[in-house]
Structure 1
Amino acid sequence: MGRGRVEMKRIENKISRQVTFSKRRSGLLKKAHEISVLCDADVALIVFSTKGKLFEFSSDSSMEEILERYERYSNAQKQQAAPTLSESQDSSRWTLEFPKLMSRVEVLQRNLRNCMGEDLDPLSMRELQNIEQQIDVGLKRIRTRKNQIMNESLSDLQKKAKTLQDRNNLITNQLKENEKRLVDSTNLNQQANINSPNSSTFLLLAPPPRPRSLPLTIGEAFQERVLTEENNESQAHEQPTTITTRMPPWMLQHLEK
């Protein structure tokens, strides 16, 4: 009696499933060893049991080298297939998106014309009210933004004005201090000139009266007489003022000579 064909499905009996796993695992490892020896192929076999136990087999090369080789090959295959796949996906996606985008553009253009007051005849009362509300909302936002910009500009101008005022006050204070220093220095210089014994200022001193003992010429006597009469007339109309003047010694010496 020949061996019947085994149905490929999960063995429900736990013991039978474990026995079958052990037999098939040994045969699988044997086959992997045979193909690696007969065909000089690099073979790596990894098996995990239902309990998580690891069973592995590798040919003369180590398992790590075979896995690294597999990863390099797999990445190269993915990179080669990626452009073709992406192009096909992009073309199909744009083919589906193009009609949607065109319809969307038409709707937006129609809404823009309606907001500009064009093509209003086909619209119903509700649609007109919606457009009016949208325009009102847009105007409120525009006015709010305009007021914000104006307030910001006004605040900047106030800051600049305050800065200029502070600078003006500083310059004014500096000018006042400089004027005060100049006045103080001028007063000190005048005081020093007054107190200095070598000052070049002097009082004009009136010449002393001529001695009566000196002889006078005719012309001198006449001039003295005329001057005396004029002085008497002026004193009769005006209040006499006493002028006390002093002359430096060198002028007195010159007059005596």
Structure 2
Amino acid sequence: MAREKIQIRKIHNATARQVTFSKRRRGLFKKAEELAILCDAEVGLIVFSATGKLFEFSSSSLSEIIEKHKMHSKDPPKPNQPSLDLQLENGNHAMLSKQVQEATRQLRNMRGEDLQGLNIEELQKLEKTLETGLSHVLSKKGQQIMDQINHLRKKGMQLLAENKRLRQQMAEISKMGKQVVADSDRVNYEEGQSSESVTNLTHAGPPHESHDNDYSSDTSLRLGKKILVSSLVLGRC
């Protein structure tokens, strides 16, 4: 349902009038705050209730907003006069230019230039500033040197550990090489002995030849004895 349009006129009921005032005042202040935030505007509101109570809202300083309003009301801008925004921009530019000039002068003084216009107090202040800055520079320099020394020490320890590990590997490799050479010499020696034994046996003849001769002689004697015994037995018979 559409809301019923309220007729804009004075509310005669005091209670209803006070309730409506409180609601409308809060809504008005809320809209003023939104306008100041969204549009980056300076907004100031002053409201007096029917009983004479003051209510106010301002996006910045209310007194400054009132002063700007007074100045603008007393001296309205002429057609050829720059606008307020341009005046503020020119003022900011002049202030920034002055700050740059002051910073440039201080920098030249710290370099030892343009010191003619300085009095004793200004020179002492400049000297103290330089001493403080020099102490900070020396402290930072010393810290960086110590960091580099610690880094080099750590790197040196790593190199020593790597060198030790490589030496151990070389010692193990050398030990394994010596073992391989010793095993090779032993194998060659054993092979040499086997060849010499074979040569000796070849020159000496078959090793079982004399044994076979002795065995044949014994067999002949045994056969002779058996024949002699058999002959004696047959003779007796």
Structure number with higher helix proportion: 2
TM-score, scaled relative to structure 2: 0.48
